Structures are given as structure tokens and as C-alpha cells.
Chains A and B, each alone.
Chain A
């Protein structure tokens, strides 16, 4: 049943010092549909590709507003994301209540990181099976964080996680230098194009399957913010039109780019790139 003796639980190290259960949990993230996040000097955007279980069912929510100044996009087990997002919502309210200030984003990220880590060091628990991109604006400006089941969190300039996300990351890396100075609209445009890169051959971005979340610093004053705005359904159509009207989208990202996305070989021989040892 198991691939080897070391992958039964999250409290067993392999002889190489890896924890397979945690690595398998990271695979669950790759089963989720792709989400993208980008941050500029003034804004942070989240974009997600929604999936429906069957033709007649609704689409799974990919982007959740956590407070007026930040939100998250998820890839993987949505119910695990709900637990974490409820926790973050509570923390955001507690910060407003106790100190009268918007919750600093890095701090709540560290809190969920600590919770996730604990699930990897205690028998009878399992790692979270979800990856998150958390984006928002606080008193120090816009931020984007990546959270993974191992409890690893990193602040990113741009990021994509989920199925086939390698193509989106390739797009992001190629356009990295353009993000910092990008306007709100340009940022959304880049995000949608990155998202599009990761689509399967026969798929397209539509008002049904695309979600966009935007939050930013208001033009006046460092403390004023442009509240988190979620575009879902018909509202997305204008954004889609704007992002796809010009045709300077790079056309590569064929099957060749798939290789990095799914390293699903035997974990005991695969390079430990999903571990949080910064080799």
C-alpha cells in the first residue's frame, strides 16, 4: 500500500531527512486548480481559475476576502482553507478590536505557519492539504505571501500555485521587472495572462471560471486603502476583455513547460525540491 516504510505519518523522517507525508500534502496543492498572485508598489492582486465538479454544479470558490485590507486565494483542499481563513478573519477582527489597527499581514501569515508546522510534528494529525496565496495592504504597503502545507511561508513578488502552475510561474518570471511599477489595471492584466498560460489546451478564461481579487493603497495618504474587491461572475467580463484585447501575449508555454509542474516520480528518488530545506 505504501511506497516505502517512511511515509506512513508526518512524524517519521526518511534516512535522507525528508518527511514524505508533508511532501504528499504538497502534492494535494498541485491537484487544486491554479491561482496567481502579483504585487506592485501600490496594489496586490489575486486571480483564480474556478472548477465545477460537474456541469450542473456551482463553481468552487477560489478567492476569499479576509478583511477589508486582505484576502486569500487557495489551491488544494478547500475545507482546510476554510479553517485557516476563519482563523485569519478572527485575528483580523481581534487586531481591530484590541489595537484599532489593520492586522499586519506578515504576522497572521506567521500564525498560520505555526499552526501548520505543528500538524507536521505530532502523531494523529495530518498536514494541511492546501496552499494559499495571501495578498493585502497594511501600514507598510502591499504584500503577497505564499503558504504551503509544510508550514513554510514566503513573501513573494509574484507567485502561482496549483495544477499546471509552472507555466504561469514562467510567465511571471519573464515579466517580473514590469510588476513593481505596474498600475492596477496592468497588474490585473498580467495576472490574467499568467492564469491563461496554465489553462489546459481546450480551456478558456470565462466569466464563469475566473475570479479576481484586488486590494491597494489609495492614491492619497499612506494609511488610506482601496478595500479588497472581489470580481466574480459578470463583473469579471470587463477585466477579461481588457486583458485579452491586445495580442502581445507571449505564445509559448506548450507541453514542454509541463515538466517542472508535476514531479510525481518516486519520492524517494526525486530531488527534494518540495522540502523546505533550502538546498
Chain B
């Protein structure tokens, strides 16, 4: 960053002569210092996981949940400044709620991501605000069932005008990642925070684009990837927090929930074992080299 100190980086919304908005780049620095967050889009649901670094022994164990629920069917995980993440989540909840009051139905994941992208982008435009110091991963499941209208009291006409055509389904998993610039993309597997490089390379090995990975397998992979991403900051303890959203006849019935304790513990155990295995392989390889 050669232009640091030239004055173009002192205020938000200012372009430098070479066309950069430095305050946004600095916000990304805050993200890159944060614990790793990942999202995996499976064929029958979405998984979110975060590496929560334990900053003090005095913290209550297992409390301080970081992945937030929006409406009923979305989860938001983020890396960076935690209070900024809470602001982002409040806005997401407002968007979902205002969508409902207008359309009487839940907001689709794509629309939620679009609105949040616009909101975050607004914080790059003005000198009186600063950009969000987070990158957020938004996962959701759009109902594949018949969409009920909020406040609907009956089942409507059975035939004729307003009658229903049976067997038409839409919906499915959605996963988006929104950056401090307001930029967002849809992902099969997303990672951000300190360990994002290691996490990304692991996600790429999963061939998620084939859309064959199940939610149950996904939980194991997510745990393993967070453990791998943590390798670089091994000196610090961490808690793994994981949530999921399944399809309607899956374990969460289309809602965003914490992954149950027993399933999570099993996945963590497997993750630790896999890591030990790798270490042993490395050790073996080293001895052979000798």
C-alpha cells in the first residue's frame, strides 16, 4: 500500500489518484484479523461454522453465540468487528421483517443478500460513516413447499381462478458472502477471516459444485475445515460454533438452528482425529526424507 500517508486514506468515500478507496481496504484488514467463518451449501441444506477464539478464561463456556438467526430460515456468520456484525444482523432482520410486511411471505435468500449488499455499500459512500469491519456469510433455505401467505386463514379455492396447480416446487439452499465494499457473490463454499486461505483450499477439494454433499457429511467437513483453519493460530484456544438449515423434511424443518451438541461433538472428534492423522503422515514423511 504505497499510498498510505498521502492523505487519501484518511476519510471514507475518498478515491486515491489510482482509484482506490483506502478506508474500505482498511476495513478488510479488520476482517482478516478475525476468527475464521465458513459456509457450505449442501444439496439438502446449508451449514455455517465459526472459529471463536477464547479471549479470556473468565468467559462463560458455550455462551456468547456468534451465528445469528434472521427471520426463521437464515443464518448469518461473520468475521471481523463483532459489534459491526451485530449491526449487520439487525439490519438483516429489519429487511426480512419489512419484506414480510409488504409481501406477506418470507424473503428469498438472494433478495436478502442483495438488500444487505446495498446496505453495506452505502457505508462506503459517505464521509460521516465508516465501512463495516466485517465480511458476512448469509446462508438460507428457501421453502420448497407450497408458500403460505402470512395470516392466511383458509386454503383458498380448490379449483378455477385462484385454484392451485399441484406439484410445483421451487426453493432450495442459498449461500452468499458480503464484503465491506458491499460486493457480494453466491457461493458453494465460502470462507473469510484469518484462516480463509486454508479453509478455501479445503472447500475447493470438496467439489461442492456437483451438489452431492449431504448435510450430515457437510457437518463433518465444516468441523474439519475450521480445525485446519485454526492451525495457524494454534497457540490460542477456540470454540467451534456451528449452525445449519435443512430442507423441510430434514432435521431442522427449514429453520436455522444450532447443530445439536451430540452431532457437533462427534464431528469435532473426527476433525481432531483427521488432523492428528495428517500430523503423523507428515512425521512419517519427514523421517523418510531423513
In the complex, is A directly touching B at CB under 8 Å? yes
A→B interface (CB under 8 Å)? 5-6, 10-19, 39, 110, 113-114, 116-118, 120-124, 144, 150-152, 154-159, 169, 172-173, 176, 272-273, 275-279
B133 to chain A, nearest CB (A): 7
Are A278 and B82 in contact, CB atoms less than 8 angstroms apart? yes
Q: A235 to B34, alpha carbons, bound, how many Å?
A: 46
A173 to B28, CA, bound (A): 34
| Cross-chain contact A278 with B35 (CB below 8 angstroms) | yes
Q: Which residues of B does A touch, CB under 8 Å?
A: 1, 4-5, 7, 9-12, 22-23, 26-35, 52-53, 55-61, 63-64, 80-84, 86-87, 90, 123, 127-131, 133, 194, 233, 236
Are the CB atoms of A157 and B26 closer together than 8 Å? no
In angstroms, how far is the closest chain B Cβ from the Cβ of A104?
13
Q: Chain A residues near B22: list those with CB within 8 A.
A: 15
Nearest CB in chain B to that of A172: its residue: B58
B55 touches A17 (CB 8 A): no
The smallest beta-carbon distance between A3 and chain B, in angstroms, is 14
Query: Closest Cβ of chain B: how far from A141's Cβ, in Å?
Result: 11
- Whether A152 lies near B30 (C-beta < 8 A) is no
Q: Are A121 and B1 in contact (CB under 8 A)?
A: no
Residues of A within 8 A of B60 (CB): 39, 144, 155-157
Question: Could you list 15 further interchain pairs (A-B, Cβ under 8 angstroms) beyond the known A154-B59, A277-B33, A278-B35?
Answer: A11-B12, A13-B133, A113-B83, A113-B86, A117-B87, A121-B130, A144-B60, A150-B81, A155-B64, A156-B58, A156-B60, A157-B58, A157-B61, A158-B58, A277-B82
Smallest CB gap from B33: residue in A: A277
Query: A158 to chain B: which residues have CB within 8 Å?
Result: 58
With A12-B23, A121-B123: A155-B59 Cβ-Cβ less than 8 Å: yes
CB-based contact A176/B130 at 8 Å? no
Give the residue among B10, B23, B52, B123 with the most A Cβ atoms within 10 A: B10
Secondary structure class of chain A's binding surface, majority of residues: loop
A121→B58 contact, CB < 8 A: no
Complex Cα gap A118–B59 (Å): 25
7 interchain residue pairs of minimum CB distance: A17-B29, A151-B83, A17-B30, A13-B26, A123-B128, A117-B83, A11-B130
A-B contacts, 16 listed (Cβ < 8 Å): A6-B10, A11-B128, A13-B23, A13-B131, A14-B26, A39-B60, A118-B87, A122-B129, A152-B82, A154-B59, A155-B59, A155-B63, A155-B64, A276-B83, A277-B133, A279-B34
Known: A6-B10, A278-B55. A17 touches B26 (CB 8 A): yes
